[in-house]
């Protein structure tokens, strides 16, 4: 679950999902999130749009795009570890490159840098990404994943949980822009997408 949305549901909402099969669990999460967008005071939608909100558009669940057992490797790239991510409203958000995930996705090697913000630890990392759908079927500044460290120390990248920044719905939000190093050369057809223009 993403940090943005994990406070809207009472605890009992989520506990009965874990014995569902994986696609059902994702669908249950999406239904909860739609309800949050439609009814919550904390919804990122402008109030005038909540009544006619039809639900977020998603790609179908693709279990091959859930990659578990990953290690957060030390960051060895050429960029500085401590830096600032530009935001959609022209500010800079101090961040740290916490490490790198390396994996195979759709037959090609992929790497994504994981970031933390001030006060965070690597127990929860922020992984924004761009892919070949960005700017067409998904938002041009990328999609986000919030990834928790599992009890065994590994991480799971689940692109089915990729979500759009709040600034997609209302430009009053300040959203980190995905750094260029996190561009994947493939189409990630999972998670949130933009509605078909039409």
Q: What are 160-197's pLDDT values in tens digits?
A: 999 999 999 999 999 999 999 999 999 999 999 998 76
Rounded Cα gap, residues 128 and 2, in angstroms: 12
- Taking the CA atoms of 67, 73, 76 and 82 in sequence, report the sign of the dihedral they define: positive
For residues 72 and 106, state if they share a domain. Answer: yes
Q: Across residues 91-109, what is the average pLDDT?
A: 97
The count of domains in the chain is 2
Q: Give the model's pLDDT for residue 198.
A: 52
For residues 95 and 43, state if they share a domain. Answer: no
Q: Give the model's pLDDT for residue 126.
A: 98
- Full strand arrangement of the beta sheet holding 108-117: 82-86, 92-105, 108-117, 124-126, 146-148
Average pLDDT of every residue of the chain: 91
For residues 68 and 159, state if they share a domain. Answer: yes
Q: Give the model's pLDDT for residue 196.
A: 76
For residues 109 and 193, state if they share a domain. Answer: yes
Burial class (CB in 10 A: 0-12, 13-18, 19+), 35: middle
Which pairs from 107-114 meet CB under 8 Å and 24+ separation?
A: 108/185, 108/186, 110/184, 110/186, 112/157, 112/182, 112/184, 113/75, 113/77, 113/179, 113/181, 113/182, 114/72, 114/147, 114/155
Q: Give the model's pLDDT for residue 13.
A: 43
Q: Give the model's pLDDT for residue 14.
A: 43
pLDDT tens track for 119-152: 899 999 999 999 999 999 999 999 999 999 999 9
Q: Give the model's pLDDT for residue 9.
A: 40
For residues 144 and 63, state if they share a domain. Answer: yes
Answer whether residue 115 shows pLDDT above 50.
yes
- Asked if 96 and 80 count as a contact pair (C-beta separation under 8 A), the reply is no
* Helix, coil or strand: residue 116: strand
Instruction: Note down the domain range covering 127.
Output: 59-198
Q: Give the model's pLDDT for residue 197.
A: 65
For residues 98 and 184, state if they share a domain. Answer: yes
Q: How many residues does this entry show for the chain?
A: 198
For residues 28 and 73, state if they share a domain. Answer: no
Reported in sequence order, the residue ranges of the chain that DSSP labels E, i.e. its strands, are 66-70, 82-86, 92-105, 108-117, 124-126, 146-148, 155-158
For residues 25 and 69, state if they share a domain. Answer: no
pLDDT tens track for 2-42: 455 444 344 444 444 455 699 999 999 999 999 999 999 99
For residues 80 and 155, state if they share a domain. Answer: yes
For residues 169 and 71, state if they share a domain. Answer: yes
Rounded Cα gap, residues 90 and 193, in angstroms: 24
Q: Scanning the structure block, which residue is given the tokens 């940090």?
A: 3
Closest by CA to 120, choosing from 143, 97, 153, 90, is 97
Q: Exposed e or buried b for every residue in 116-151, given b needs 16+ CB within 10 A?
A: beeeeeeeebbbbbbbebbeebbbebbbbbbbeeee
């Amino acid at each position: 679950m993403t940090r943005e949305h994990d406070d809207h549901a009472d605890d009992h909402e989520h506990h009965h999902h874990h014995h569902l099969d994986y696609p059902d669990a994702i669908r249950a999460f999406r239904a909860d999130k739609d309800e949050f967008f439609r009814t919550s005071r904390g919804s990122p939608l402008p109030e005038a749009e909540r009544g006619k909100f039809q639900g977020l558009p998603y790609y179908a669940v693709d279990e091959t795009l859930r990659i578990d057992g990953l290690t957060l490797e030390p960051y060895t790239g050429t960029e500085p570890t401590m830096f600032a991510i530009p935001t959609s409203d022209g500010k800079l958000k101090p961040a740290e490159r916490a490490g790198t995930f390396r994996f195979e996705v759709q037959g090609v090697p992929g790497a994504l840098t994981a970031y933390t913000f001030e006060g965070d630890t690597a127990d929860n990392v922020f992984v924004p990404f761009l892919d070949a759908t960005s700017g067409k079927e998904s938002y041009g500044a990328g999609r986000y994943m919030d990834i928790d460290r599992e009890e065994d120390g590994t991480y799971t990248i689940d692109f089915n949980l990729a979500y759009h920044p709040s600034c997609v719905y209302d430009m009053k939000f300040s959203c980190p822009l995905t750094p260029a190093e996190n561009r994947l050369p493939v189409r990630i057809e999972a998670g949130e997408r933009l509605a078909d223009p039409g």
